[in-house]
Structure 1
Amino acid sequence: MRNWQPMVRCVGVVAAITAIAGCTTQGQATSESAASGQTSEPSVDVAALDTGNYPTDPRPAFGKATQDNILQVEGQRMAQFVVVPFEIDEDLTNANLPTMVITGQNSLGPVFPADIAKVPANKNMLMGFVGTAATPDEKLRTGAKSVSNMVLRYATAGDAAAAARQMADATAASDKVRTTTLPGLPDTHVVRTNSGGNSQMMAFTAHNTYVLYQWYETPPTQQVLQEPTIRKAIALQTALIDKFPATPTKNEAKARGITGSSAPVIDQNHVLIYALPYSDEDLKKGQNLALPGASIRAVYGPRGMAQMSGDPKTDFTLLTDVGSTANAVEKSTVYRATAADGAKKIVDTSLASNRSQGWADAPSPAGLPIAKCQSKTLESGTWYLCYVQKGRYVGTYSAPNPKDVQQAISAQYVILTKADQNAN
């Protein structure tokens, strides 16, 4: 499992701790350890840890989404129902930008030029999610390919149909080509172009209140792959988005006879409360963030985590196998498996993967021998990672400052000693 934030940080993620977690706190054996007969982890004097200025308590529950953040929360929820690029083309495992939550017409800039993003129907676009990936370096000898897969939600099915048509027409006009359709898919508008010596195929499909968008680029020698791959993507994405439990709009709620607030609960699985937070000011200004702002302070399932992973196939399979269905992403990342052995499997798998990518073991923070740390020199400088497990939970943190990383992971450990090991 490599880092799931390669677009910004270019570092490896979750590594292993070999000790059995949940056994000691402040040097005292817990009843869990005594009852199970497990070998206890090294003693940790929580009070002696250097946690810097980081918080050491879980945050209060977040409550329901508000008018200010509901589009962001819905986009984060949608990520689990957006097909990951490797599911479309198994060669595409190198995550790229744009991979992010879309919170309205104004956030389409990383995906489309202004003349496409600003088509009239997109004024009624609510939110969405886009994932992008390319051929990894080790497979470039067979030809570079890339795909973007995006789902956008609109206020009505009519708005979605208009948007698909208008965006396709604007794309075709900018490239001075015509839109076409695919036999058997009358709601799909296709644009074929060439750029930089490569061939591109773009498909805009209206599906209920959604627009499904695929952009697929191949060398000319592999152009024959484009139509069957786009058809596969549309079929997979149509089936998956139909499972998304979308929060009804006000008009939809009224039509269904729903009264009162139908806004989703933020962090309904109570795992984001354990992640180290960014300040509200950092989030507002978009400064020093690991991902585009709407994509963090988030909870993702295995598919959502795989969208931004450097090893998406491994991550999706691993997190699914260990029941890590709710994972928190903010300044740190917190995974929660069904059981402690699943959490250990997450970190063991990750440490091995990181080492295969050139990461070297680094010292643990003072007083926290159960944390495992690594470092690697990149073009941008040396990066440091630390990981810690407590029972079902794994906390991870990475940064270019070793002291910061050690303080952060120490604070993360203290928070995880207070985490609910029986949470759903």
Structure 2
Amino acid sequence: MSGSATREAPDTTGLDFGNYQTEPRVVGNAKSMTQARAWEAQRLADHVAVPFEVDPAYVRDARFDSFVPSTQIVLNRKGLGGLIVNDTFDEVAEDLVAGWLNSWATEPDAENKSRKLHLSVLMFPDAKTAESVAPILEHDDFTFNTENVKVPITKYPKTFAHWRPSVSSIGSWTVHDRYIIFMKIDDETRAPDLASLTGQVERALEVQIPLLDKFQPTPSDKLEHVPLDPTGLMGRTLPSDPGAPVRAQPDGFATGRGALSLFQSPSPKVLEDFSKYGVDLIAFGDSVVFRSTSAAGAKAMFQADTTTDDPSVKAVKTPDNLPVPVKCFADTYTDGNGQEKVVDHLCYLQVDRYSVQVRNKNLQDLHQKVTAQYILLAAR
């Protein structure tokens, strides 16, 4: 018999989804160049090295430090926060298409000192532009402090770097094709050691450059009105409330590294689990939907996510009448009076190839969200 199988529409009788959307939506194309560039930055994120891939000693996501922007999307100088001090960035890098920033730190030592690696990839329209911009950006740092000294990175001659001999820190700008790889390494754990700092730059570039060779930028003439949801999964993911967004960056999707920004405490295990469970796409809005290559992979991920021995994580009531696996938990703490308080609620859901996480402090509202998300995924 010719044709293809179709899924029967889910029976919503007896399901409480409140006012949440249950019909898949068409996300459409970018409405502006700014929106398109942010979308491209999120795509680029999957190809920007996470510092723990360079050195496993980097165990703490430092994006919430005071001088590091939490959004991680770089569209102008603000995207790099206090990591750069010159005020000419937007003029020099006016042709910047998109960028992404990862910032991680080691565990503080007994003196509360740590080592930090800030790594950002900035993408330009072509290699010629990147080659002209990088040395100017690096040189502008000299106008801030005359004690800066140029440093050669011999393994990567297209790197422009400098340090101050009295400070255990190094800044570098490396050209690779249309990309500029910006790094700032601060090592409070040891006295200034140029060989150590340049070695760290080289090790990071050894990891970063091959990742960029696998990235396929959106053609310039296609970017401004690019389709924001090429797979359709965002249209079946609960969108964030524009008035109370879930996170600093806009709703979107990722295939790997870019999804680490969704986790409060990301770690190498997150990427290992993506591989283990065959996760090939993650869409995020008011919920986070992980698509696996098989239903078995999604089931295994759901079971792992809902298995915990943390006494502060308590099982709570799940939504009524859902015909698929779902579990909900309360994240709790005990206050100074010995009273148990709830920080947040989190529900996990599995629908065929999809494993879902939905979070909300109000449990009834969370149940409605989970029910709506089930209908969205079961509708196809």
Contact 1:269-1:326 within 8 A present in 2 as well: no
Matched, 1:227 2:182: no
Displacement of 1:174 after TM fit? 2.4
Match of 2:121 in 1: 151
Match of 2:238 in 1: 276
Displacement of 1:61 after TM fit? 5.2
Q: Percent same amino acid among aligned pairs?
A: 21
Contact 1:298-1:329 within 8 A present in 2 as well: yes
1:123 match: secondary structure: coil
The amino acid across from 2:20 in the alignment is: Y
For 2:368 and 2:190, the matched residues in 1 are separated by 52
Matched, 1:85 2:51: yes
Matched, 1:50 2:19: no
Matched, 1:389 2:350: yes
For 2:8 and 2:56, the matched residues in 1 are separated by 41
Match of 1:338 in 2: 293
Deviation readout 1:13-49 (Å, 9 max, x if unpaired):
xxxxxxxxx99954xxxxxxxxxxxxxxxxxxx3222
For 1:391 and 1:223, the matched residues in 2 are separated by 54
The amino acid across from 1:83 in the alignment is: A
**1:220-369 aligned within 5 A:** 220-221=189-190, 225-250=196-221, 264-279=226-241, 282=242, 287-292=243-248, 295-309=249-263, 310-352=265-307, 355-356=309-310, 358-368=312-322
Displacement of 1:237 after TM fit? 1.2
Displacement of 1:155 after TM fit? 2.8
1:315 match: secondary structure: helix
Q: Which runs of 5+ in 1 are unaligned?
A: 1-21, 27-45, 251-259, 420-424
Displacement of 1:234 after TM fit? 1.1
Range 323-332 or range 119-128, more displaced: 119-128
Displacement of 1:356 after TM fit? 4.0
2:17 match: secondary structure: coil
For 2:171 and 2:223, the matched residues in 1 are separated by 38
Displacement of 1:391 after TM fit? 0.7
> TM-score, normalised to structure 1's length?
0.74
For 2:159 and 2:116, the matched residues in 1 are separated by 20
Higher helix share: 1
Match of 2:138 in 1: 168
The amino acid across from 1:416 in the alignment is: L
Contact 1:84-1:307 within 8 A present in 2 as well: no
Displacement of 1:289 after TM fit? 2.3
Q: 1:234 to 1:373 in 2, by over 3 A?
A: same
**1:10-89 aligned within 5 A:** 26=11, 46-60=12-26, 62-63=28-29, 67=33, 69-89=35-55
Quick one: which of 101, 105, 115 aligns to 1:130?
A: 101
For 2:191 and 2:134, the matched residues in 1 are separated by 26
The amino acid across from 1:272 in the alignment is: M
Deviation readout 1:381-405 (Å, 9 max, x if unpaired):
6111111111111221112222222
1:51 match: secondary structure: coil
1:190 match: secondary structure: strand
Aligned length: 358
For 2:44 and 2:75, the matched residues in 1 are separated by 14
Q: Which runs of 5+ in 2 are unaligned?
A: 1-6, 64-68, 336-340
Displacement of 1:409 after TM fit? 1.3
2:58 match: secondary structure: coil
Deviation readout 1:322-349 (Å, 9 max, x if unpaired):
3321110111111110111111222222
Q: Aligned Cα RMSD in Å?
A: 3.2
Range 162-171 or range 126-135, more displaced: 162-171
Match of 1:8 in 2: none
Q: 1:275 to 1:314 in 2, by over 3 A?
A: same
